[in-house]
Structure 1
Amino acid sequence: MFNTLSQQQIDKVFGIIKKATTEKRPERQLTKYEKILENFSKWLLTHQLIGFSVAIILAGLSYFLHDIPLANTAFATITLSQILGIALAVVVIALSIPFFYRLFKTPFSQFFHLVESSVTFNLQYVEQLATCEAAAIRYVLTYYEGERIAFEKRCSILVGSIEKIGFFPALAGLGTLSISLTKLPAMQSWANALIFLILAFYILSTAAFAMTQRQDRVISLLKYCLESSK
């Protein structure tokens, strides 16, 4: 016998998993040292972007107005922006020191942190899904999982399976292909466009991998709720 489902029951489940998919887990609490570096890096990035934008505007005005002092100001501004960029890189390196320290001292700390944060974060959705009909959860899960598989296949059609190849090996192969194609004068004109297009697809695939991780987490959540309702 099939259970009769209403649109209201389906919408209730879908609303819960939509929040579970889009909302981010709370980030790990930073130490005092990390908070200082984090705030300083944001300050550097903000001022670097402002300086770069101002330099571009001044350079454009100096070009159209033929103003040499304005061009010198633009050059000084872009130089200052680059100095801020170097300082930002140093801060990022310093900010990564605690991560590598924890990685070597307690290799499983990051793993258990992710597990614990997922368990704590998903508990609210378990409580909400407990009030839903099991048939509605199963119905939404069927189509959610189907769209998840279709999404992965669409990404694989464009750039292949990046998670099996690896991002850096893919970049190495892309660089080898670029060098090989640029040696042929007849292909050099379209080879550059092709290389940048493939690189763009690699970046999109990397972003899609983070999306599929969230989708897999929600699928596991729905399956757990179904098993618990039996």
Structure 2
Amino acid sequence: MPDTPSQQQIDEVFDIVKKATTDKRPERQLTKYEKALETFSKWLLTHQLMGFSLAIILAGLSYFLHDTPLAKTASATVTLSQLLGVALSLVVIAFSVPFFHRLLKTPFSQFFHLAESSATFNLQYVERLATCETAAIRYVLTCYEGERIAFEKRCGILVGSIEKIGFFPALAGLGTLSIGLSKLSAMQSWANALIFLILAFYILSTAAFAMTQRQDRVISLLKYCLETFN
């Protein structure tokens, strides 16, 4: 009869699995051009949010105090905040230029960077799992993979398989649906709430997809350890 892992051995493997799931890989080193743009974009975003918040406060005060100068100040602040938003959009476009340049010049560079960073990043967990009992690793893998499948099925029940449809085609379908429903006056009262609800579920599904990617990486790591340590 095979040995049953103890609770202590299972907890030890789970601690490693939790770290491997939640820890983030180190980001790619930015060039001086990218660092300058990132710093500038953070400055723009901070001041845009501050200006927008200030505009809301001034608009509220002008409404309750019936103060016209405050209302004009709030309008000017909103305009300034919008201009900062436009500048931020231009910075984002400029920030994407190096990415598309690398994509055209060396199309596999990003892929190999991710593969190499994963190999380096996962090595610390492989070294820790090497000291754990194989039966405990197999048991944790069974539980972890089962919950991973159940999580995907729950998300599928709510919004369907967004990765098979694609996020932008789903948004296009949502836009077509909203236009069609808006033409019916009887539907307008609940159609708007329905559209925003579907959009919220799409965003939730996108976040869930990022989570399942991490879970799949950890499952592959555990399977590798089982094949290697046996």
Q: TM-score, normalised by structure 1?
A: 0.98
Q: Which runs of 4+ in 1 moved over 6 A?
A: none
CA distance in 1, matches of 2:19, 2:51: 38
Name the structure 1 match of 2:181: 181
* 5+ long unaligned stretches in structure 2: none
Residue 199 of structure 1 aligns with an amino acid whose one-letter code is L
Give 3-state SS (helix, strand or coil) of 2:29's partner.
coil
Name the structure 2 match of 1:68: 68
1:132, distance to aligned residue in structure 2 (A): 0.4
Which aligned pairs between 1:1-230 and structure 2 lie closer than 5 A? Answer: 1-230=1-230
Q: 214-223 or 186-195: which moved more?
A: 186-195
1:187, distance to aligned residue in structure 2 (A): 1.5
Over residues 52-104 of structure 1, what are the superposed CA-to-partner deviations in whole Å (9 max), with x where a residue is unaligned?
11110111011111111111111111111111101000000000000000000
Q: 186-195 or 87-96: which moved more?
A: 186-195
Give 3-state SS (helix, strand or coil) of 1:28's partner.
coil
CA distance in 1, matches of 2:172, 2:87: 29
CA distance in 2, matches of 1:7, 1:136: 9
Residue 80 of structure 2 aligns with an amino acid whose one-letter code is L
Residue 221 of structure 1 aligns with an amino acid whose one-letter code is L
Over residues 164-212 of structure 1, what are the superposed CA-to-partner deviations in whole Å (9 max), with x where a residue is unaligned?
0111111111111111222222222111111110010001101111100
CA distance in 2, matches of 1:178, 1:3: 59
Residue 188 of structure 1 aligns with an amino acid whose one-letter code is Q
Over residues 150-177 of structure 1, what are the superposed CA-to-partner deviations in whole Å (9 max), with x where a residue is unaligned?
1111111111111001111111111111
Q: How many residues align?
A: 230
* 5+ long unaligned stretches in structure 1: none
Q: 180-189 or 51-60: which moved more?
A: 180-189
Q: TM-score, normalised by structure 2?
A: 0.98
